[in-house]
Structure 1
């Protein structure tokens, strides 16, 4: 049987599959995940980051989580409304890319170990890394109340730890996004900007937050956290209709310098110290919020819900806050990097404007306080001398000055906001081509899988149409083939292929020159005998005076079949390992010389299952070019009923058009299956060998076990003794080289 790959059909199938790929199929495909993994590997090479970041993309519309990481794997929910509400596959790709960039920032820059240490210290009622430094007298009172509260009840401590974790995550989000935007202005930065723009647009104003508080949807503590997140990530706050004197705004204004430090510093300890300060500064509100969280947990327990306190707090935060991310969990430190000057943040302009407003509000408060003090003093002076005129020393050059008047208050403008201007950066204009390239890969993969399934059906049909002889008449034959190669096989192959392919290239190099000389022909000199005398060699004393003309010789067409015994005993003494290595080398050697090659393994089922299992690792005509990876599945299995597999592969060779056909059998012993062993089984194999030798198939039987005498007895002069398993790959390849030179 000669199965040929119709490349026109492949292209037709590819176009059909490409047009039918849905967004769900595209975004959850392993190809897209691999694309992001490769992107991370390239972008993080500067850090000498050794671990490969794994990416898993799912489609779970009902899951409220959108992305998270454990510092080894990045998980992204492409079915989240934040993604699906965006129109267009390219725009959705940008959002996914931005989510990936955010989580990659945690992988690269977040110190998960310090975060764990911080939680452990808090559980021991201690500050980490150092106690916070207070500048306000009320903070000392709040600290005492905090320790009293957490020591009172373990549940109090658990709730407080979760809230501290959320505060830390707020600052960490601002920090890692600042680093990503500065360090990766290309694909990652552009994608992150898309996500940030969407998040900032959805962020509520202070007025809207207050409305939610009045409706019982939020707590003032959550509103403050929302404002902190807005400033940490974007450098600005959406005030709405609220004055700057609002308690929420004033509380965050009082922490602007600390939040700035947390976003800019590379020290996780400094950032955790700021978390401690924010905890105490906002404790009056956090304490009340802790009680609400405990009440929610109690309600969940009464409703027989399995959520623990961490899930309860996380659910409340996720429901109330906009623009945040899931809490990261990991057990590693950030990647090592060289110390250098910190790059300017993309949100510095916004931060400066917000801080200017905070300073303006503080100055107005001071002016009001001074004005109140002046009023009191003026009233006292008025009682002493109401008839005195106010005196004013004015120089001659000053004109147009307004006279000083007594006031009791200043007006506060209403409706003031800070407009958000999207940061203009270099536009990544290759997203469409990236998507097209991945769609082509997905379509090709789908088309190849479909055609591989069709070919598997054809292989099994071919197997059923072979006459195996009476000795195999009651035996089932089944052909197995991996229709879609997974990443595990690819990674295993890439891990071991280096030295094996070097052997293949060296063997090919030694052969290429001989083939070129043979094809070119020419004049062969230095012969002891011949019909033609070489006059240029008369001076020689060795008698090599003759020459002859050598005609150009075309290399004979050749096809190779490799059949591997995969019986259980192949698992001993690395026999299967060397057989796998030999298959990889032989396959690469033949493919590099355009020699058609097929590789099969064979075993049988259990005693109750009289089935010969054939394993197709490489076919003569490849569809997806992944056969080299399939050979990583070669392994020791059950018994070996050699006759049926031998006849199957021989029939495939007979159907080939090539002039020379070689069938190489690698085995470690005698045929051994239920009802198939001993002299009768050996006679069956000898008969098969003679039958197909008459049909032009050359046999080579390589024995790699202790039963070399038995194998030699069966296959006679076709037997090849391999005492040293390390020589197996080279010797098998030499068989092919010998016939190429025929």
Structure 2
């Protein structure tokens, strides 16, 4: 969809659309999805990142991501505290920029490894430096507490999660602001500044310590402030305060976490923070356990983990930790201490952890056997495999499979059909019974609403696109009427036709014929891509059929490709293409219209694959000049390729007016090279428009727009090349043999991209 048009429609109706409707609309989510796709695919990330925007004022979370979905709560108080829609949009866009930063830069795979190591009582990627007896005692107490109680282990895991998330938040926001200074970076800065304004001072946090707070939360808040904003709101607290001094002692390490592209460095810094701030952290864990015990005695929930999560969630300016199982989208080789990639480090560390775990299990099994055969615990993987085998043996569904009679998720695309098979007999089961199930409560399928919503969205999208297409046809007609066509076309009416909504018949026809044609397009793409690659790379090019320099290493070749040249690197100029098809009645003979349609499909697919803007028009005459728009430079929907199946032989042809219309549109493009291809039988024929006078008009149009930078290629079909050559000179192309079309089009395109 054309989101520029959608934004215009929203602007027209903004007086009647509430903020809740606007921010929770699918159109806005799709707009952000397109932004995410543009930024992730530049790094070769092929999976599309989804965006979900909700309006839930009572939910505490503002945004989160699992690296496949970005979830944003536009109804969060930090957004709705702003009064205007524009200000709220800036906040939502800032939240989106933050979460997209996690998708682009956070190494979720390494994060998982870090937490698995901690759960097993090991440091990752290496132990922190112990510079004093205090640090050594802190490490000893840390491991003792880690191994003393599962609840303590889980609490320390949550704390380390939060520390690592604080470090990562600062890093990814700095990267986003630096790498994307436009809409994303600017709105992220606006979001950061508004959050900093409501950030509590150290004085306020210290006062809260006596009323449900804790000194560790104050220290962690100061670390977050330094990582995200580079400054701490001291309030009236002196710099000699222990909280501030604790953060000051970590500034060098925090700077490393802020600038290093290696996620393992932030893991190292998180380990250092755990050790250096251990007295506060240990006291914080005990504090949470005491609160949980008091709540349990009073009849409330006594889970220390819930208490700890509630306390950590009060951290101002923090966000939910990103989750996922992948490396950063941007990739790259970070400046790690060992010079290796994070992925290699993760794999090596994971392998080492697995080996250590296996060794410990062997030792524990040996001890169990020595102690008289205590009950043996099997690894989770073996247990799961054995359980799956047992289920399969009993005929029950395994994990991930639906039981008999259960519902299956509905998909938009075709998942495969059973092929038709020749059969001669049918089985006749015996002993069947009829039973009544009074306990049936439904399949439990929860996707009905989303299925209907998907269909409704598709209907709404089609309706919007149809209306926009009709509006564009009107605009194109007005443009056609505003162009000065010269005295020879004075008084001739102009009308633009465009299919507003493509029906299924055209789509089915396209699928039937497109296979072989798209194969030709891919051959053309391969040839031109190599030309572009060689031009951008420069250097020595060998295997040439002609040249000034002989390649002595190639003299033994039999194909004559024994020359070479040294070429300087050259940036390929931007190219736009206009294709104009003659749809006069004479095109029905000798399959001329068929060849024209095939050429349009091949050239359109070729240009789309290489990112070359292309427009495709046909022309004929009825009561005036009829222009048929098949493809426009700025597509609203994705159906232009199907519209080209409507290319046909129609009435007469007034080539000069149609050629001027397309050339005028092409001349307004900003690309360096503008190529106009005309497919015609070379016989202009309309009322009072034929013969040598009409041909002279065509030569005049060509010369006029050549002076404006338009390059012409007139494609002739079979014997018509004599007419085309007479009118357009030597810029003609014979496309009667489609099998030779890729090589010929490649030659034309290569010639023009060297301009």
TM-score class, shorter-chain normalisation, is 0.3 to 0.5
Larger C-alpha radius of gyration, 1 or 2? 1
With normalisation by structure 1, the TM-score equals 0.47
Q: TM-score, normalised by structure 2?
A: 0.46
